[in-house]
Amino acid sequence: MKTTNWGEQEKELVADRSRDWLAQARRDLEQAEDSSRAGRHEWACFAAHQAAEKAAKALLLWLRQEPWGHVVARLLQELPVEAAAPAALVEKARFLDNLYVPTRDPNGHPEGAPFEHYGPLQSELALAYAREIIEFVRSKMA
């Protein structure tokens, strides 16, 4: 039985889906904005995280790297030097990373449902940070 060791040549044959990931990131941001306007701030925060995560993965794919995981700060830190994210942007990603589980899971806080812990302040900040990450990625992929 013959096994294949995937090399650079084979990687070139894999379709570049980075634009799809960035398009979905933008769509997730729209969902976050809609949720915020509707007062579903926990969902706005979660969707903002998802938008930032998908944008970071888009850039890694654009750069022919294979992204893994859901920690936006780590994804941004894995960017090569020529596309490095500013430290301030990584810090904003850390804020978003703290929204990944507790916005959806009732066990994410000592008590109360997730929607009781998030309001306009949190969703506005999450939206702003997600927008910054998407814009950073868009500028690098231009």
From the candidate CATH numbers 1.20.120.330, 3.40.50.300, 2.60.40.420, 1.10.260.40, the one assigned to the domain spanning 16-141:
1.20.120.330
**4, 10 contact by CB (below 8 A):** yes
In this model, does residue 98 exceed pLDDT 50? yes
The DSSP code sequence of 44-90 is: HHHHHHHHHHHHHHHHHHHTT----SS-HHHHHHTS-GGGPPPHHHH
Tens of pLDDT along 103-134? 999 999 999 999 999 999 999 999 999 999 99
For residue 2, name the pLDDT band (cuts at 50, 70, 90): very low
Hey, what long-range contacts does 59-66 have (CB within 8 A, 24 or more apart)?
59/18, 59/83, 59/137, 59/140, 59/141, 61/16, 61/17, 61/18, 61/21, 62/16, 62/18, 62/140, 62/141, 64/11
Sign, CA dihedral 50-56-59-64, equals: negative
pLDDT of residue 7: 54
Amino acid, single-letter form, for residue 121: L
Tens of pLDDT along 4-58? 344 555 555 568 999 999 999 999 999 999 999 999 999 999 999 999 999 999 9
Tens of pLDDT along 21-33? 999 999 999 999 9
Cβ atoms within 10 Å, residue 120: 11
pLDDT of residue 15: 83
Instruction: Scan for tokens 């490095």, then name that residue.
Output: 84
Please count the CA atoms within 13 angstroms of the CA of 9 that sit on its side-chain side: 2
